[in-house]
């Protein structure tokens, strides 16, 4: 899981300097919740202690390996049954 889209490399990391590839990989490898979008991309949420326990959403492309986007998801509130 060390493949990244050009968008991630050129835009996401530039706009969100607090993010690292390592944190994103960690969320994908050990997600709190996983969900497939209608377009086939896959969303992963993980709690990140470095961000004060906030949840990071990482989106990978439909190939299942390329990280495309990541951001702190302020609208994500875990519910009963969310945990994988």
10-residue mean pLDDT profile of the chain (84 residues): values are 92 97 97 96 96 96 97 89 64
Q: What is the pTM of this model?
A: 0.92
Q: What is the pLDDT of residue 78?
A: 86
- Output the DSSP codes for 9-45: IIIIHHH-TT--HHHHHHHHHS-SEEEE-TTS-EEEE
Report pLDDT for 77. Answer: 87
Task: Look at residue 1 in the predicted model and tell me its pLDDT.
Answer: 62
In the prediction, which pLDDT does 84 show?
A: 58
Determine contact, residues 27/58, Cβ cutoff 8 Å. Answer: yes
Q: Are 19 and 38 in contact (CB under 8 A)?
A: no
């Amino acid at each position: 899981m060390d493949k990244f889209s050009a968008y991630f490399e050129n835009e996401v990391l530039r706009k969100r300097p607090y993010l690292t590839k390592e944190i994103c990989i960690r969320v994908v490898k050990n997600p709190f919740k996983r969900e497939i979008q209608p377009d086939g991309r896959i969303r992963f949420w993980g709690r990140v202690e470095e961000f004060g326990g906030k949840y990071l959403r990482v989106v990978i492309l439909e190939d299942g390996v390329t990280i495309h986007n990541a951001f702190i998801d302020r609208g994500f509130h875990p519910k009963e049954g969310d945990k994988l």
